[in-house]
Amino acid sequence: MPESTDGTTTTGERAPGPEGKFLFGALSSFQKDTLKLLLELQRQYGGISRVKLGPYEVHQITEPEHVKHVLQDNAKNYVRGKFYRGFNLFFGRGMLTTDGAEWKAKRAVSQPFFHKVKLRANAGIITDTTNDLLEKWAKPSADKEPVDITNDMMWLAMGVLGTMLLGVDLRDWSDRLMPAVRFSFKAMILTGEVKQMLPRWIPTKYQRDLKRYQQDLNDVMDEIIELHRNGGGRPDDLVNALLAARKENGDPWSQREIRAELKTLFLAGHETTGCGLTWTLYAIAQYPEVRRELEAELAGVLGGRVPTAEDLTSLPFLRQVVDEALRLYPPIWLFPRDAVADDTIGGYHIPAGSTVLIPPYAAHHNPETWDNPEAFDPKRFCPAHQGGAEGQGQQNRDRYAYFPFGGGARKCIGMDLALLEIQLAVAMIVQRYQLSLVPGHPVTPGALVSLRPLPQVLMTITPVTQPAAATR
């Protein structure tokens, strides 16, 4: 019998799942509507299922106990793998795409910059950047012109991440970065399209665009590195930490290694936070009763003033709104892993080399775990109702029923920054403007590298009357 990485003998039956077409399995369904397929697998076959996607045998895991097994208890047996190959096109070998000692060394350099105390000390960067956005909205608000909230939330997140971590305002490079981001987040997901499968040396338009946007992204990161080599940025920022870092043999990181880390922080950092902000504002706009309760809480605590990190403990409903938005629309909608050795999960055999897909999207929409899972109900995260999330309790719910930032040692390094940024930005936006969805423009979740609202989130912006001074 095969052995797992911990030396135990693995056994188990073949997990249930659809047979699909002989050659391609469920690949066409995966390409056509990825999220629908993931939901169907969970609801038809439960917490573990098996599906064939082209030449690959894949297992989907949504049962909290099994998610914990892969992400935490037996994490050493599960590495990045084939689903991450497309990420290398734009991320390179950074913190997101590496494993083992290489990953640990990369994470160790960045980790201090994501410490809660340091982030809260720099919360003013978030509120200053959000204020820039509020001022930017003054004209479309006066002209009653709709705006694409997704683009503006990416602009906001880009400004925060660049200033707080890299010592530069990435919005200064937005004209070059944004087109590269839009292209890369489609190119990195391998859908089996012919244009992706053709050899790189064939000079198709897709390949020309791929090279151009790869170069644009590399050029911007090289410019930021060069600026720091010449004394720019802040002495205590992450770029200077990467320049000062040394490997075990004493060698400095190469230009390519530093660039890969910056691309990883930029692409993964601003995109997921921007999506989280967009979905939160989208949900608030759809549920007037949620907005009214949030406005009342903000008025009682802030009275129209700019929030601080210290205010957030007095704004529990704000956190519940954000948690529920991340449940319904988790920006990181999928965590793929490849099994190094054979394993057994839930009595089912997981062959070495096969892929395990862990989709928070499907787990967060599981009716066996969540009452009325398609509804936006922040009260489900009220400690008195059910328990909080990500450190707020969860007394009556399994820790791995809700995992928008993953879990285990590989939990998203930017979790605390994302939560801090989303809460502060939403508090400022809701106090200043009322956002209303433009009728006739339906929005659907898109399973790209992140869970992007597609095609766009058009909203009108109306100033709100400033509340009275805070009463507490």
* The token pair that represents 29 in the structure block: 């369904």
What is the pTM for the complete model shown?
Answer: 0.90
Residue 431, φ and ψ in degrees, nearest 5: -70, -30
DSSP symbol at 72:
I
Rounded distance between C-alpha atoms, residue 191 and residue 194, angstroms: 9
Directed axis angle between helix 149-161 and helix 123-136, to 10°?
150
Read out DSSP for 365-385? T-TTTSSSTTS--GGGG-TTT
- Asked if 155 and 171 count as a contact pair (C-beta separation under 8 A), the reply is yes
Position 190 scores a pLDDT of 62
Cα dihedral 58/107/422/160 (nearest 10): -130
CA atoms of 330 and 362, how far apart (whole Å): 10
Both tokens of 169, joined, read 């305002």
Edge-to-edge strand ranges of the sheet holding 433-437: 147-148, 458-463, 433-437
d(CA 302, CA 440): 35
Lowest-pLDDT range, 20-34, 81-95, 267-281, 434-448? 20-34
Task: Identify the band that residue 2 occupies on the pLDDT scale cut at 50, 70 and 90.
Answer: very low
Q: What are the tokens at 192?
A: 């089996």
98 near 371, Cβ under 8 Å?
A: no
Other Cβ atoms closer than 10 A to 89: 15
Structure-token match 């960045």, residue found: 110
Give mean pLDDT, residues 425-434: 97
User: Which pLDDT tens digit goes with each residue over 265-313?
Assistant: 998 889 999 999 999 999 999 999 999 999 999 999 999 999 999 999 9
Nearest to 263 by CA among 156, 188, 360: 188
Q: Convert the pLDDT of each residue in 86-96 to its tens digit.
A: 777 777 888 88
pLDDT at 40: 93
